[in-house]
């Protein structure tokens, strides 16, 4: 794609409506270099002098070599009954990407996530090519490799069908308010009788038991992320301190831009599920009850915070783009954005200083001479952070991200720009590795999605086959395959409001 063509399109744009600004970009605008160039004989590589390791990896690990390889969780059947929350979706998509058969069981009107558009803008909806049915990009992105069926669990008939489905399931994921499924007679204690091999995972914010368990509002609204993040001191310790950024500009405790509490709960739940699967297959032959919450999952990630409090009553405070544990290890503003530089050990720390000294010898002198900054651990003191980052930012003001990155990388310092979403989609290395890929979906066409991090494997790589599905698309197949219910009975059930009859 040449530059002029892209420019031309931009100039001709006439904006009369928000819709006019929604222009699909070509992707990727710049193709990454070819393998032959990256591994050419003149590319000196001290760790792989004869190129044999690079060749092995390219031949066996590259995500494009994944096609046709076996699936790690082949034959495992997962019923994903979660709605609204992200944790179940994350768990289901990881299991699905690794080859499990994941069936998303949705209420008749569908998972509300389907209709949560960013900033409420319906223009951002993806449309089913066949039916024109709209769905939000969130749903598309998080429910990959999942079949969709509709089943009204609030009806007796629906629950009976669900029980018959649960007989086949290895794993059930669920995030309804505590006790809902149990009340309906389809909780773990009922299902484990009809299917003792069942692994049943509940996801939530705070827990389904205990003095501060999940609850609903008096109108039935659920607790969703960031409730767990708030209750786990994640929010308290994220964000800029008012000393560095006044409160009115955002120097407050800050939540994550994405629902990361749910994401880590989903990942922790998946780890628990797979450990339970290992135990079931190798030892007991029996499943178990699992519970993963955002608050507790994130607490583990907060690492030493609570131990530090128990050590001497210290409460981890927020410190913006810095880190109180390592120096250097921060991002600071630069000429065209923010630049992250990291190097804690003496070897790396002085390499960073050498780079700065090239252009700012006085600043580098202030650091190099200071006896207080000579010892690695002492540099983590607050004064060490302030002094080091002030001098570093002084150097960064005259450097763009790309310049700073090139200069630091020339000395093997781990440094990288803070990239915006479009820049990530274009970053050569990520395009080459398929961190972001385009999926050709039967119903939604070309969809740009972030790839599974487990896509790069020798034997059983994770793959995305399709993105989120139209509501109830797989009713026909799943009902016939596991329940022996054909079209005639399905239509009858649909009339009773138990399921829907999907036809293209």
Contact 339, 331 (CB under 8 A): yes
* 371 scored as a contact of other proteins (CB under 8 A): yes
Give, as ranges, the residues between 101 and 140 that touch other proteins (CB under 8 A). Answer: 116-124, 126, 136-138, 140
* 357 scored as a contact of other proteins (CB under 8 A): no
d(CA 177, CA 180): 6
d(CA 151, CA 500): 8
- Nearer to other proteins by Cβ, of 165 and 277: the residue is 277
Among 2, 3, 12, 211, binds other proteins (CB under 8 A): 211
Reported residue count of the chain is: 504
Q: What are phi and psi of 58, to 5 degrees?
A: -60, -35
Give, as ranges, the residues between 452 and 491 that touch other proteins (CB under 8 A). Answer: 452-460, 462, 467
Among 234, 349, 482, 502, binds other proteins (CB under 8 A): 234
* 41 scored as a contact of other proteins (CB under 8 A): no
- Angle (CA) 458-464-467 rounded to 5° is 170
Q: Which stretch binds other proteins (CB under 8 A): 42-50, 147-155, 481-489, 494-502?
A: 42-50
The minimum distance between CB 372 and other proteins, in angstroms, equals 6
Number of chain positions touching other proteins (CB under 8 A): 235
Give, as ranges, the residues between 238 and 267 that touch other proteins (CB under 8 A). Answer: 238-245, 247-250, 252-260, 263-264, 267
Among 162, 349, 427, 502, binds other proteins (CB under 8 A): 427
Q: Which stretch binds other proteins (CB under 8 A): 41-49, 150-158, 477-485, 490-498?
A: 41-49
Q: Which stretch binds other proteins (CB under 8 A): 156-164, 187-195, 476-484, 493-501?
A: 187-195
* 317 scored as a contact of other proteins (CB under 8 A): yes
The minimum distance between CB 497 and other proteins, in angstroms, equals 22
HSE, CB side, 13 Å, CA atoms: give it for residue 137: 14
Give, as ranges, the residues between 287 and 316 that touch other proteins (CB under 8 A). Answer: 288-292, 295-297, 299-316
**Using CA of residue 427, residue 432, residue 435, residue 438, what is the dihedral sign?**
positive
Contact 292, 269 (CB under 8 A): yes
* 17 scored as a contact of other proteins (CB under 8 A): no
* 410 scored as a contact of other proteins (CB under 8 A): no
* 44 scored as a contact of other proteins (CB under 8 A): no
The minimum distance between CB 261 and other proteins, in angstroms, equals 10
b (16+ CB within 10 A) / e for 9-31: eeeeeeeeeeeeeeeeeeebeee
* 88 scored as a contact of other proteins (CB under 8 A): no
- Angle (CA) 384-390-393 rounded to 5° is 130
Helical axes 382-396 vs 361-369, angle rounded to 10°: 160
Residue 26's nearest CA partner among 52, 14, 8 is: 8
d(CA 487, CA 492): 9
**Using CA of residue 336, residue 337, residue 338, residue 341, what is the dihedral sign?**
negative
Give, as ranges, the residues between 150 and 169 that touch other proteins (CB under 8 A). Answer: none
The minimum distance between CB 373 and other proteins, in angstroms, equals 9
Site string for other proteins, 380-399 (x = CB under 8 A): xxxxx-xx-xxx-xx-xxx-
d(CA 233, CA 305): 9
d(CA 266, CA 175): 11
Residue 303 has a CB neighbour count (10 Å cut-off) of 11
* 235 scored as a contact of other proteins (CB under 8 A): yes
The minimum distance between CB 388 and other proteins, in angstroms, equals 9
* 361 scored as a contact of other proteins (CB under 8 A): no
């Amino acid at each position: 794609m040449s530059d002029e063509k892209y420019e031309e399109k931009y100039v001709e744009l006439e904006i009369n409506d928000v819709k006019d600004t929604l222009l699909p970009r070509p992707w990727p605008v710049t193709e990454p270099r070819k393998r032959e160039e990256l591994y050419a004989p003149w590319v000196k590589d001290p760790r792989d002098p004869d190129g044999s390791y690079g060749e092995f990896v390219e031949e066996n690990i590259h995500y494009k070599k994944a096609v046709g390889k076996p699936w790690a969780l082949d034959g495992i059947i997962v019923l994903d009954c979660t709605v609204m929350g992200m944790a179940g979706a994350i768990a289901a998509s990881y299991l699905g990407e690794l080859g499990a058969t994941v069936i998303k069981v949705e209420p008749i009107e569908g998972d509300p996530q389907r209709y949560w558009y960013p900033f409420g803008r319906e223009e951002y909806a993806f449309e089913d090519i066949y039916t024109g049915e709209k769905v939000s990009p969130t749903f598309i992105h998080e429910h990959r490799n999942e079949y969709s069926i509709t089943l009204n669990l609030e009806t007796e008939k629906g629950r009976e069908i669900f029980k018959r489905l649960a007989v086949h399931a290895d794993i059930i994921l669920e995030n309804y308010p505590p006790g809902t499924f149990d009340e309906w007679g389809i909780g773990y204690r009922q299902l484990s009788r009809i299917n003792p091999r069942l692994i049943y995972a509940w996801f939530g914010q705070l827990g389904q038991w205990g003095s501060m368990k999940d609850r609903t509002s008096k109108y039935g609204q659920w607790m969703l992320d960031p409730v767990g993040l708030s209750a786990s001191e994640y929010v308290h310790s994220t964000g800029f301190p008012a000393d560095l950024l006044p409160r009115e500009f955002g120097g407050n405790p800050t939540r994550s831009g994405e629902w990361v509490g749910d994401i880590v709960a989903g990942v922790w739940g998946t780890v628990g599920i797979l450990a339970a699967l290992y135990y079931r297959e190798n030892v007991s032959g029996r499943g178990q009850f699992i519970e993963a919450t955002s608050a507790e999952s994130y607490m583990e990630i907060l690492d030493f915070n609570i131990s530090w409090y128990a050590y001497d009553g210290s409460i981890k405070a927020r410190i913006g783009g810095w880190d109180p544990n390592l120096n250097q290890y921060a991002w600071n503003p630069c000429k065209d954005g923010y630049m992250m530089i990291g190097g804690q050990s003496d070897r790396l720390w002085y390499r960073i200083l050498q780079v700065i000294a090239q252009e700012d010898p006085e600043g580098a002198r202030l650091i190099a001479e200071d006896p207080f900054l000579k010892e690695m651990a002492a540099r983590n003191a607050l004064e060490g952070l302030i002094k080091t980052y002030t001098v570093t930012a002084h150097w960064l003001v005259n450097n763009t991200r790309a310049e700073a990155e090139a200069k630091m990388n020339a000395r093997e310092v781990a440094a990288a720009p803070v990239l915006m979403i479009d820049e990530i989609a274009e970053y050569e290395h990520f395009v080459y590795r398929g961190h972001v890929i385009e999926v050709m979906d039967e119903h939604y066409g070309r969809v740009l999605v972030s790839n599974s991090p487990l896509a790069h494997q020798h034997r059983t790589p994770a793959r995305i086959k399709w993105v989120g599905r139209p509501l109830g698309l797989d009713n026909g197949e799943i009902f016939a395959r596991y329940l022996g219910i054909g079209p005639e009975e399905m239509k009858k059930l649909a009339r009773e409001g138990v399921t829907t009859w999907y036809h293209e």
